[in-house]
Chains A and B, each alone.
Chain A
C-alpha cells in the first residue's frame, strides 16, 4: 500500500481525532478532574499545645494513645507509634508550639526513592504507604529530608509508619482527624492553593503577629503541609536551610544519563574490540 504525504497526514489526523474524541466520549464525567491538590495549614500562633491532635491521630489510626506531656525545650520525635507530635519551644515570643508530622511534599523524595511504588503520592495530595508493595528496604527513610518514615524494627512483619493525612477518612468524605479535633482551629484542611491564600491573608492582615514566610510554600519544592508562625522557623526546630528544589531533582541527572550509557557503551566497546583484534599478534613478538 503506497501512502503519499497527504494521505499520511490524513491518517494521522483521523487517528488523532479518534483518540481525542474517543477518550472523551467513552469516559464518564471524571471525578479526578474536580479533585484539587489538598493540604493542611498549621498556624503556630493559634496552637495552645493541648495535644488533642496527638490523641485524635492515635485514635483514628489505631495507635496507642500518647502519654508524654509537652515540656519546653525537650524535643519529642515521631516514631512507629506516634505519627504526629507537638513540641514546645522557648522562643523570642515566649513558649511557642509546633506540630510535627509528614510534610506531604509535592514531589516527595520517598516516592521517588521507592522501587515498588509502596510510597505513593495520591492525586488528592496525601502521601500514603502501601504495605502489599513494600519490601522494607527503608530507602524512603534514607531519602526523606524530614526524616518522616519510621520503621518497626521489632516486628517480623514490619510496617513503615507515617502520617498519611488520614487517607481512608478522606475517602469517606471526612477531614483529617487532627484538623477535625483541633479546639483552637490551628489546623485547616483544604486545597493547597486556597491554604496559601489564607496564610498570606493572615500574614498581611497581622504583620506584627506573623513572620513573613510560609514554611512549605517552596521548601523541598513545595509541601502539602504548610506552616505559619510568629517567630522565625529556625527557633521552632524546622530546617530552614533546606533546598528549594525538590529532592528527586538531585538524582535526575544520574537517571537521565542511564539510557545514554546503555546505547553508547556497547557501541563504543564493540568498536574498541574491533580495533584491537590483532593486538595479540604484536604482543606475541614482544613476549
Chain B
C-alpha cells in the first residue's frame, strides 16, 4: 500500500493519492450552466421516483400491464441504449483489427461512451427488476437458466463491461500517473478488444433474440426469425451515428482539450464514418426488403401499422442512407450530422416498434409510459452525461496522453 502511494504521489506533484482524488472530485468551471440548471432538478425528481418505485412497487410509477410487462425502461433504456453503445465495438474493430489508424484519436471517447452507456442503461435494468436482490442468482450459479436468451445477455453485459473497462483503463492509469499499471493494462487491450467484439456480436443480436418467443405478440411487420441479425446490423450504424452525434458535441464542448492535429482530422473522420454508415444501412435495408418479400406481408402494408412501417423504412432508413451517401460524396459535414440524427431517430423508432409500439399492438389496454417513467429515463441519461463530463475533464480522453507515454494504445 505504501509503495503504491509513493509512486502515485511522485507523479502528482507530491500530493497523496487521497488528496489528489479529493481534489479531482471538485467541480470544474462555472456551475450554473444551462445544462446543469435543467438536469439537476430532473435528476433529483428521478431519484425520488426511484425511491417510490422500490417502496410501493413497479405499478406505482409505471403503466405496465399484465399483457405488456416490458415498457420504456427495457424498450428504450436497455434495448435502444445498448444499440447506441455499439459504436465502441465497431470503432475498436476498425482501429485494432483493421488497423485504420485514422480513427485512433476517437477510440478512447467512444469506448468511454460505450462503457458508461452499458453501466447506466444496463444498470437501469435493475430498476425494472421486481426482485432485484435475486439479481446475483444467474451469476453465482445456484440456478443457471442456460436455455434462456436473457441468461446469455446478462452474462455478456457483465463480461463486456469488464472488457470495455480494460480497453479504457490505460487512460485511468495515465490520469493517476501509474506508469507500471499502464504498461500492463495497455498490453491487455487487444485481447479485450477481440473478446469485446465477440461478446458484442452475440448480445447485440441477443437483444433481438429475446423477442423470438413473443412470436404471436409482436406485429408481423416487425416480427421475423431474423430479428437477431437485424438488431446486429442496425447496431453498427446506430453506434456510428451516435459517435458522429456525440463526437460533434464533444468537439464543441471540450474544444480546448483537443490538439491541433486532431482538430484537423476531425472532419475527415466524420466523412469516413458516414460512408461506413451508408454501406451498413444499405445492407440493413436490403435484408428488410428480403424478409418482407419472403414473408408475403403485402396485405399488411395498407393498414395504419403498415404506413408506420413504411415511414420507418423509407423515412428513417432509406432517406438517411441516401443522405450519408450524398454528404460523403460532397464532403458535407453538416449533412452528415443531419443524417446521423435521422438515423438515431430511426433506430429509436425501430427498437420501440419491436419492444413497445408493435408489442401487443392489438391489446385492449394499450401501454403508454407515464411521465414518471420518462423522468426516470431522463435522469439516468443526465447522470451518465455528468459522469462522462467529469471523466473527460480529468482523464486524457480527448486530450493527449502525458509525455511519459511512449506507445499509442
From A117, A151, A239, A243, B130 is in contact (CB under 8 Å) with A151
Cβ of B180 within 8 Å of any chain A Cβ, yes or no, is no
Cβ of A74 within 8 Å of any chain B Cβ, yes or no, is no
Is the beta-carbon distance between B198 and A269 smaller than 8 angstroms?
yes
The stretch from A41-49, A225-233, A274-282 touching chain B is: A274-282
From A131, A250, A253, A266, B213 is in contact (CB under 8 Å) with A250
- Cβ proximity bits B150-194 to A, threshold 8 Å, 1 near / 0 not: 111010000000000000000000000000000000000010001
Is the beta-carbon distance between B212 and A251 smaller than 8 angstroms?
yes
Is the beta-carbon distance between B148 and A280 smaller than 8 angstroms?
no
Tell me the bound Cα distance from A136 to B151 in angstroms: 14
Is the beta-carbon distance between A116 and B138 smaller than 8 angstroms?
yes
Tally of chain A residues near chain B (CB < 8 A)? 61
Is the beta-carbon distance between B101 and A283 smaller than 8 angstroms?
yes
What residues of chain A lie closer than 8 Å to B206, measured between beta carbons?
254
With A248-B213, A250-B212, A261-B201: A154-B149 Cβ-Cβ less than 8 Å: no
Cβ of B263 within 8 Å of any chain A Cβ, yes or no, is no
Cβ of B390 within 8 Å of any chain A Cβ, yes or no, is no
What residues of chain A lie closer than 8 Å to B211, measured between beta carbons?
142
The stretch from A27-35, A107-115, A171-179, A210-218 touching chain B is: A107-115
Is the beta-carbon distance between A279 and B100 smaller than 8 angstroms?
yes
Is the beta-carbon distance between A273 and B129 smaller than 8 angstroms?
no
What residues of chain B lie closer than 8 Å to A116, measured between beta carbons?
134, 137-138, 143, 145
From A114, A154, A273, B60 is in contact (CB under 8 Å) with A154
Distance in angstroms from A83 CB to nearest chain B CB is 13
With A114-B145, A153-B57, A266-B194: A251-B213 Cβ-Cβ less than 8 Å: yes
Cβ of B54 within 8 Å of any chain A Cβ, yes or no, is yes
With A118-B143, A261-B198: A136-B134 Cβ-Cβ less than 8 Å: yes
Tell me the bound Cα distance from A150 to B212 in angstroms: 20
Cβ of A137 within 8 Å of any chain B Cβ, yes or no, is yes
Cβ of B2 within 8 Å of any chain A Cβ, yes or no, is no
Cβ of A141 within 8 Å of any chain B Cβ, yes or no, is yes
Tell me the bound Cα distance from A208 to B148 in angstroms: 44
Tell me the bound Cα distance from A63 to B154 in angstroms: 34
Is the beta-carbon distance between A117 and B144 smaller than 8 angstroms?
yes
A120-177 at interface with B (beta carbon < 8 Å): 131-139, 141-143, 145, 147, 150-158
What residues of chain A lie closer than 8 Å to B93, measured between beta carbons?
269
What residues of chain B lie closer than 8 Å to A153, measured between beta carbons?
57-59, 62, 64
Cβ of B69 within 8 Å of any chain A Cβ, yes or no, is yes
From B55, B70, B217, A138 is in contact (CB under 8 Å) with B70
With A115-B145, A137-B129: A276-B195 Cβ-Cβ less than 8 Å: no
Is the beta-carbon distance between A151 and B70 smaller than 8 angstroms?
no
Cβ of B147 within 8 Å of any chain A Cβ, yes or no, is yes
> Closest residue to A130 on the B side, CB-wise?
B143
Tell me the bound Cα distance from A138 to B134 in angstroms: 13
> Closest residue to B138 on the A side, CB-wise?
A115
Distance in angstroms from B404 CB to nearest chain A CB is 23
Is the beta-carbon distance between A273 and B147 smaller than 8 angstroms?
no
Is the beta-carbon distance between A139 and B99 smaller than 8 angstroms?
no
Is the beta-carbon distance between A273 and B145 smaller than 8 angstroms?
no
Is the beta-carbon distance between B198 and A273 smaller than 8 angstroms?
no
- Cβ proximity bits B98-142 to A, threshold 8 Å, 1 near / 0 not: 111110000000000000000000000000111110110110001
Tell me the bound Cα distance from A135 to B69 in angstroms: 14
Cβ of B210 within 8 Å of any chain A Cβ, yes or no, is yes
What residues of chain A lie closer than 8 Å to B101, measured between beta carbons?
279-280, 283
Distance in angstroms from A102 CB to nearest chain B CB is 14
From B57, B142, B150, A156 is in contact (CB under 8 Å) with B57
Cβ of B317 within 8 Å of any chain A Cβ, yes or no, is no
Tell me the bound Cα distance from A154 to B60 in angstroms: 6
What residues of chain A lie closer than 8 Å to B299, measured between beta carbons?
none
What residues of chain A lie closer than 8 Å to B225, measured between beta carbons?
250, 253
Is the beta-carbon distance between A133 and B134 smaller than 8 angstroms?
yes
- Cβ proximity bits A224-266 to B, threshold 8 Å, 1 near / 0 not: 0000000000000001011100011011011100100110011
With A115-B154, A154-B56, A279-B99: A135-B130 Cβ-Cβ less than 8 Å: yes
Tell me the bound Cα distance from A272 to B149 in angstroms: 29
Tell me the bound Cα distance from A141 to B138 in angstroms: 18
Cβ of B96 within 8 Å of any chain A Cβ, yes or no, is yes
Tell me the bound Cα distance from A113 to B134 in angstroms: 16
Is the beta-carbon distance between B145 and A138 smaller than 8 angstroms?
no
Tell me the bound Cα distance from A258 to B149 in angstroms: 10
B interface residues, Cβ below 8 angstroms from A: 54-60, 62, 64, 66-67, 69-70, 93, 96-102, 128-132, 134-135, 137-138, 142-145, 147-152, 154, 190, 194-195, 197-198, 201-202, 205-206, 209-217, 225, 228
Task: List 15 A-B residue pairs with CB atoms under 8 Å apart, sorted by A's residue number.
Answer: A109-B213, A114-B148, A116-B134, A118-B143, A142-B210, A145-B215, A153-B59, A156-B55, A158-B130, A239-B216, A247-B213, A247-B215, A248-B213, A253-B225, A287-B102
A interface residues, Cβ below 8 angstroms from B: 77, 79-80, 109, 111-118, 131-139, 141-143, 145, 147, 150-158, 239, 241-243, 247-248, 250-251, 253-255, 258, 261-262, 265-266, 269-270, 272-273, 276-277, 279-280, 283, 287
The 3 nearest A-B residue pairs measured at CB: A136-B130, A153-B59, A115-B151
